[in-house]
Every structure is written in structure tokens, then in C-alpha cells.
Amino acid sequence: METMGRHVIAELWECDFDKLNDMPFIEQTFVDAALRSGAEVREVAFHKFAPQGVSGVVIISESHLTIHSFPEHGYASIDVYTCGDLDPTIAAKYIAEALGAKSRQMAELPRGMGPVAVPEPSASPV
């Protein structure tokens, strides 16, 4: 298996409070996002914090998707990392829309190609 991968760092702001605090919804959204990207889901682990917030991961054959949500700030911190021919932006955009993010910044880092390359991030309205 080749080491090369694409890692999307997504900062989602002005998201819907209730969605950011709904663990079953987030878990289903992440599994759906992985499947829409063509990924194979291997492990799913989510955790609900008190009084609010959700953290979780979907391990896929092609790497992972993670979230940390902060409903009180309307913020979700997302990573979508894929190897092979998959496009991580498909999942990242699907998640941003599902969480009702009114603003987002995304940066894509190549992984497994030697030194860490850090391109300029892009900001775009949903």
C-alpha cells in the first residue's frame, strides 16, 4: 500500500447548535460521508461530553475522519484523511453542509510524501 495521502483540515463555524450536540446524528453523518467518498468503514468510536460536545472518529481502510464539536461556540473541528484515489473534500463538504456551517476554512496537506508540506488554507462560504 502506498503511503501517499491527502489530509483535509476543516474549521467549521456558525454551525447548528443542536446538530453539533447530537451524537447519533454526527455518527451517522460521518459514516455517510465516508461511504459517499467511496471509503470502507472499519471502526467507529464516538463520545458525548457533558454538558455538551461530541468527539469521534471513523477509521476507514483509507485512513480516518474525526470531529470535535463545541456547540456553545458553533464550532466543529474536522479532519478527513484519505489514502489512495479517494477525494477527502467530498466528505469534508458533505459534513460541513450536514452541520449547517455558515462559514468554513479548509486546508489540504499531503501526507506520506516526505516532509510535511503546508499549503495556504482556503476560506469559502458554504
Q: Write phi, then psi, for 10 (nearest 5 degrees).
A: -125, 125
Which residue among 37, 63, 64, 69 is the active-site one? Answer: 63
Q: Which of 17, 31, 55, 84 binds a copy of itself (CB under 8 A)?
A: 55
Could you tell me if 71 and 20 are in contact, meaning their C-beta atoms sit under 8 angstroms apart? yes
Of 67-106, which residues contact a copy of itself (CB under 8 A)? 68, 70, 72-73, 75, 77, 79, 81, 83, 105-106
Question: 3-state class of 99 per DSSP?
Answer: coil
- The minimum distance between CB 120 and a copy of itself, in angstroms, equals 7
Of 20-49, which residues contact a copy of itself (CB under 8 A)? 42-47, 49
- The minimum distance between CB 65 and a copy of itself, in angstroms, equals 10
Answer yes or no: 63 catalytic: yes
How many residues at the interface with a copy of itself, by CB under 8 A? 46
Q: Report CA dihedral (26, 29, 30, 36) to the nearest 10 degrees.
A: 180
- Rg (C-alpha) for the chain, rounded Å, is 14
Q: Which is nearer to a copy of itself, 25 or 46 (CB)?
A: 46
Angstrom distance (rounded) from CA 78 to CA 81:
10
Could you list the active site residues?
63, 68, 83
